Chain A
């Protein structure tokens, strides 16, 4: 029933993760509505989306923790439903919690995970040693995890998912709630893993995280991938970002917005606190800076700063969904699909 030898050439050039038409429903909530995903081996895929978009549900299905209602998925060449056992031998999984035992030491945590992966008592000890040293936890290794900082716990949790040298690693919001320094440490680990050939799928709500780590990004909303590509393609497909900052906040803001709407063909976003109007040009539409300045001037708008630039991933998300990733209040809270499901 199981393949005696894993054929590594198989996930060499081909995708290490493949999902087709995944559907999943929890009661009345449709968490996934036909999610497709393909991640080439040895790359990092960032799954980006707001809370409740279906990111966690997708990762749980790929990590064999949940079954799809329909659709199919293969991880490291194995079907996640019919060959769950083989998938489990090939993956590492770090969920949203630091799933480590707090009442025992960091070293013992890794040791136990190694034993569960059948490394044997001695093999598990040696592996724990290697990982602790490599990821700078050796000094804290013999302290109870209870005494660790949040960042150290997440790091230990991540390291615990590396005990078996997984071919595919799933990280569900690996840095949510961490301070910038801890985030950098987690990022450094992920980069090292990828340099070693591991395929990583990480979900995130942070655009900069996806931007910095991912080779490809899949933007997920309402249980479906609504856009995918490299961070660069995603940004350039969106258009040019135009930003006007005013000297003073008054009714000029509305006037500037009207001008931007006319010139870009997009829908400007007003930020009163920052006295700023922002818009993305509609596809295929170019904008000339001199014309913009002239029109602002003619309308009597005193601009402090006018800038054209590449859109950020936040702009990408805003353009694709009409909602900002950073502003939860713009999410329609009455929509049942927005409830977080596990």
Chain B
């Protein structure tokens, strides 16, 4: 019997017709297969996991120990305790980069076309990539937390609150992944995606990640306060118990007064925008 075709003429492999239930099952299976693809990739390049720690660790060193030695929070409190949740959020925001580079690489190398020529669920193909990244970033966040603990940072409100904080951070990383996938599909070129990665960092600068926003000029403070990243950072600080007192007379805007709710709203809004955009871009790429 021939390996390629069991009998002549060719009898291609043909799954049963797609019922809604089977469709859903196939989508889950596709998502898991594409998760596996990325996890296998990381398994062969474990250095990449460690590499995603480099940027936040470097920031921790620069801001925690160099700038930090001269930074006094306007309302008082330990700057390093304030900074640590900011480093976690940096890990979350940086989720844009691997997704953007990965998606652009897949487009450039024809992997996206190969996937699109196969009978697979469009959204599952992308969901798999974000799922794999979540697994990896859980490890990265855990390593980052280990570094924080070693340096004397503590979650003040107990394990349950800390776990909630990490869940919010992972949720935001998930959001960042979808933004990254959309941008990567849009850019479609690996080299250009690499160049644009640099622009991710300023996104996390105009926030309360490194310093409180109270002392910023008015217009900048407005942008920083309404930056979704600020809400997530504030939520993490609240849950970890690393909040600092506001400046006397400072009125925080709505998202920073209810940072946890604001984080959830921001994530819902961003996902509602970027998931359909990314799936649409993937489906119509080159059409």
Contacts and interface: CB of A to CB of B under 8 A. Distances in A.
Interface of A: 1-6, 8, 11-12, 41-42, 60, 63-67, 76, 85, 88-101, 103-105, 108, 112-113, 115-119, 130-131, 134, 144, 160-162, 164-167, 192-193, 196-198, 342
Q: How large is the interface on B (under 10, 10 to 19, 20 to 34, 35 or more residues)?
A: 35 or more
A88 B118 contact: yes
B11 A8 contact: yes
Contact of A104 (B9, B12, B40): B40
B12 A167 contact: yes
B251 interface: no
Contacts of B111: 99-101
B4 A90 contact: no
A166 B120 CA distance: 15
B248 interface: no
18 contacts: A6-B12, A65-B113, A66-B287, A89-B15, A95-B110, A96-B110, A98-B110, A101-B41, A103-B40, A103-B44, A103-B45, A104-B41, A112-B33, A117-B13, A118-B26, A197-B10, A198-B10, A342-B286
B36 interface: yes
Given A88-B119, A93-B117, A167 B40 contact: no
Given A93-B113, A162-B4, A165-B13, A116 B36 contact: no
Contact of A134 (B3, B30, B108): B3
B15 A118 contact: yes
Interface in B113-153: 113-120
B40 A89 contact: no
Nearest to A199: B10
B287 A67 contact: yes
Given A101-B41, A117-B13, A117-B119, A65 B3 contact: no
Contact of A103 (B5, B17, B41): B41
B65 to A, nearest CB: 35
A108 B33 CA distance: 11
A130 B3 CA distance: 7
A5 B12 CA distance: 11
Given A1-B18, A117-B118, A165-B5, 6 more contacts: A89-B13, A89-B119, A93-B113, A116-B33, A117-B119, A192-B4
Given A165-B11, A196-B4, A60 B109 contact: no
Contact of B12 (A66, A116, A165, A192): A165
A65 B15 CA distance: 21
Nearest to A104: B40
B236 to A, nearest CB: 32
A24 to B, nearest CB: 10
